[in-house]
Chain A
Amino acid sequence: MAIDKRFIGREYGPYTYTIGAEKMREFALALGGAHPAAGTPGEAPAHVSPLLHDAQAAKDGPYGDLIAFPSFAVVFAIRPFGSAVADPELGINLLMLVHGEQELEFLDVMRPGDVMTTTGRIAEIFEKAGMEFVVVTSESRNQRGDVVVKGTWTAVIRG
């Protein structure tokens, strides 16, 4: 069943998320290959930058504080995409949905305590090769109103 193109332009959000130091560290270490256990996100593998998990090294580094791993942004910036594909009016069968493409732009680093506000909209709905595509764009601003992350999220719904 084709998704109605009249939903192009539908907006989702704003959604607000406060970045916490331990959540940033947990993400960087889980992605980086650490083995979390009760009470600890695990030992950082050697290739993981200390700027992501070592408070003292980060304080002495170029940003003066811990920074989030860039794709940590998906934790909050995915929200409009998640809302769009689950929007009952679109009627998408989530079991047939795959994440087809992803683009993220990072205009600044993210630090503990940053308050991110994300909005998004359905940018495109189209069919190709018997499958349906839904493209959602997102924009996340920090507490100063600066755009920090832009995302383009593409869902493919298998026929």
Chain B
Amino acid sequence: MARTFQVGDTFTHVRECDRYRPIYYAGASGDFNPIHIDPEVGQAAGLGGVILQGLCTLGWAVEAVGIFVGDPGRIRRVKVRFSRPVRLEDTVTFQGRVTVLEGHRLVTEVTATNQRGEAVLKGAVVEASIG
């Protein structure tokens, strides 16, 4: 790869949870838990409406790092804690920073915050191979 990376490099990726995204993601992933597609069930579960699948948010964090390293096939590991639901029409900003570079192994820490500045993921780490 022509591109070089350094510890401390940063990157940003912004995604919007548009109105039908949880339904599209349900269709693609098979996760049809009604809290993601039925507002009444979301209300009854105390969530105030439908929420996006956490694994979609995880995917967006992976996407952020895949774009940063230039190839989604280079992602080797992702680890996240789901700290707050993503709701319809939320905008999630992913900010990443390279924390470790050892040979071909690149480790990033990624934060994910909604438009109110609240973290929707905690302790997110995404690793890639840049060899």
Residues on A facing B (Cβ under 8 Å): 23, 26-27, 29-36, 47, 49, 51-52, 62-63, 67, 69-71, 74-75, 78, 95, 98-107, 109
Alpha-carbon distance between A71 and B24 when the two chains are bound, in angstroms: 15
| B73-84 Cβ-contact flags toward A at 8 Å (1 or 0) | 101111111100
Residues on B facing A (Cβ under 8 Å): 13, 15-16, 18, 20-21, 24-25, 27-31, 45, 54-56, 58-60, 62-63, 66-67, 71-73, 75-82
User: Are A101 and B80 touching (Cβ within 8 A)?
Assistant: yes
User: Are B55 and A99 touching (Cβ within 8 A)?
Assistant: yes
Which of B15, B18, B58, B71 is in CB contact (< 8 Å) with A71? B58
Alpha-carbon distance between A135 and B125 when the two chains are bound, in angstroms: 19
User: Are B24 and A49 touching (Cβ within 8 A)?
Assistant: no
- CB nearest neighbor in B for A70: B75
User: Are B63 and A31 touching (Cβ within 8 A)?
Assistant: yes
Question: Which 6 pairs from chain A and chain B are nearest by CB?
Answer: A30-B28, A103-B79, A71-B59, A27-B28, A30-B24, A109-B73
Distance between B74 CB and nearest chain A CB, rounded to angstroms: 9
User: Are A102 and B28 touching (Cβ within 8 A)?
Assistant: no
User: Are B29 and A51 touching (Cβ within 8 A)?
Assistant: no
Which of A26, A67, A70, A100 is in CB contact (< 8 Å) with B81? A100
Which of A30, A52, A78, A107 is in CB contact (< 8 Å) with B72? A52
Which of A23, A26, A71, A95 is in CB contact (< 8 Å) with B62? A71
14 further contact pairs, Cβ within 8 A, besides A78-B31, A98-B82: A30-B25, A31-B25, A33-B18, A47-B13, A49-B66, A67-B72, A67-B73, A69-B59, A69-B72, A71-B58, A75-B30, A99-B54, A107-B76, A109-B73
User: Are A106 and B76 touching (Cβ within 8 A)?
Assistant: yes
Max chain A C-beta neighbours (<10 A), residue from B30, B67, B72: B72
User: Are B77 and A104 touching (Cβ within 8 A)?
Assistant: yes
Alpha-carbon distance between A95 and B31 when the two chains are bound, in angstroms: 15
Known: A31-B60, A99-B82. A74 touches B55 (CB 8 A): yes
Max chain B C-beta neighbours (<10 A), residue from A31, A49, A100: A31
Max chain A C-beta neighbours (<10 A), residue from B20, B27, B73, B80: B73
User: Are A32 and B63 touching (Cβ within 8 A)?
Assistant: yes
Residues of A contacting B54 in the complex (Cβ-Cβ under 8 angstroms): 99, 102
User: Are B82 and A100 touching (Cβ within 8 A)?
Assistant: yes
Max chain B C-beta neighbours (<10 A), residue from A23, A69, A71, A74: A71
